[in-house]
Structure 1
């Protein structure tokens, strides 16, 4: 379960698993805005204040660990669902 002020894991997964080619312009824009806001919230909130599930979710979806892309993006690219 994600923390109250964060994007739900279900919303993140649904957005990530649907290819951009099947999304409309407004849906793509909304996904980018939601993702950007959640990444900003992840960066601002100290790990000590995150729930265990939120820490795990952040490690899977955020590229703050120094990688250029998140683990989820790497998996999508590996199966041909990503942008690369």
Structure 2
């Protein structure tokens, strides 16, 4: 596995710089899902196949995870639950837009 299978570092930086208040539901949901996929890829990718950037990022992420005291499974479940929540909010928003707001949903 190469770094090309991982989330681009530039994408990570641009996502963290842009405030959540300026992100739409789909954008937030996509970030949660891609972050979790990258985290999982980092866990299964052998160290010798990682580039310097991915090694540094994965080590920092592992330190952060250790500091929170949560297991990988607990953290993964939280990401999945948050992604479901954001996707549900996005679907509700789109439905309201298509059906004309609050009155259209009643």
Query: Normalization by structure 2: what TM-score?
Result: 0.55
Measure, in 1, the Cα distance between the counterparts of 2:53 and 2:30: 24
Which has more radius of gyration?
2
- Counting matched residue pairs gives 66
Higher relative contact order (CA 8 A, sep 6+): 2
Measure, in 2, the Cα distance between the counterparts of 1:38 and 1:59: 13
Aligned to 1:6: 6
Structure with greater helix share of residues: 2
Measure, in 2, the Cα distance between the counterparts of 1:18 and 1:51: 26
Superposed CA RMSD in Å reads 2.0
Aligned to 2:18: 18
Query: Normalization by structure 1: what TM-score?
Result: 0.68
- Structure 1 alignment gaps of length 5 or more: 69-84
- Structure 2 alignment gaps of length 5 or more: 69-106
1:12: how far off? Answer: 0.5
Superposition misfits of 4+ residues, deviation over 6 angstroms: none
